[in-house]
Structure 1
């Protein structure tokens, strides 16, 4: 197998694909949970609490060493924005899929992720090694943007005002 193809069969690549495949599942389940709980923000909070429980249990099972909180507190301020970013994403993923559809939501998320990642790489932000933008990388982003445009064009989008309000009270509860 050529060296470039062997990378595709690597464990990190497989785990990244698995992680990516869970994102639409997370969005769809959080959207449904938001409807069941009565508001998308309750679903976001519930999702993050479940994440806290799962990660806490994983840390205990794997016997992960105590964190170096003092070292982290003395580090750059931006080390702490991951939690804020996660909370914003989870909150958006609880109500936007019901309005956009899961596929549309994920396509917009992908475009945002790839553009932001390209900028982070180019400027070497957040302590990463700079990987300058070049024509093939820009072409890759443009292909993803084209995919988004084609998908939107082919979706025959229903205006949001004509879509059902999934957070509205059931008709029986209004009577």
Structure 2
């Protein structure tokens, strides 16, 4: 594998690693601001404030107004999905714990990703679901069960000893 490929793998892992930190920080922000949706809004505003100077520094050209006017509505759903994830993380992370929420979120991402790849939805290249991929998803879901419910059994053992 090339260095560029390994760098991509590491960056993808880093992208996943920052998500629980973002969620845990936003939970505290939501408590301080009085509601999880305020933290969602604050997170998105900070995202814009961080992204705009980068875009200006890179001197990115403005997007095509023709594309913007003709793009199908589903292309704009990414922002709504982002709000959904951030808001649900703020509400559910304190209840499920960081590992429980992230494990469940990751399991949902893997299953949805297999479907996206298999059917080539949203312009993606079709990548057929294979037995090893299904086994990997099942193992991941098994891991989710252990992460989410394994601590309960462990506490019961300690309590009865």
1:72 maps to 68
Identify the match of residue 112 of structure 1 among 100, 103, 108: 108
Residue ranges of structure 2 left out of the alignment (5+ in a row): 154-161
Q: How many residues align?
A: 153
Residue 128 (structure 1) aligned with residue 133 (structure 2): no
CA-CA distance at 1:114 after TM superposition: 0.4
- The aligned residue for residue 91 of structure 1 is 87
Kindly indicate which of the two structures has a greater share of residues assigned to helix: 2
Alignment partner for residue 137 of structure 1, among 133, 136, 141?
A: 133
Match of 1:156 in 2: 152
TM-score by length of 1: 0.82
Higher relative contact order (CA 8 A, sep 6+): 1
| TM-score normalised by structure 2 residue count | 0.89
What residue in structure 1 maps to residue 48 of structure 2?
Answer: 52
- Residue 10 (structure 1) shift: 1.9
Partner of 1:43 in structure 2? 39
What's the CA shift string for 1:123-156, capped at 9, x where partnerless? Answer: 1000111111110110110111010011122121
CA-based RMSD: 1.7
Query: In the alignment, does 2:8 pair up with 1:22?
Result: no
* Gap regions ≥5 residues in structure 1: 158-175
Query: Structure 1 residue 95: deviation in Å?
Result: 1.7
Q: Which residue of structure 1 aligns with residue 7 of structure 2?
A: 11
Q: Distance in 2 between matches of 1:103 and 1:86?
A: 20
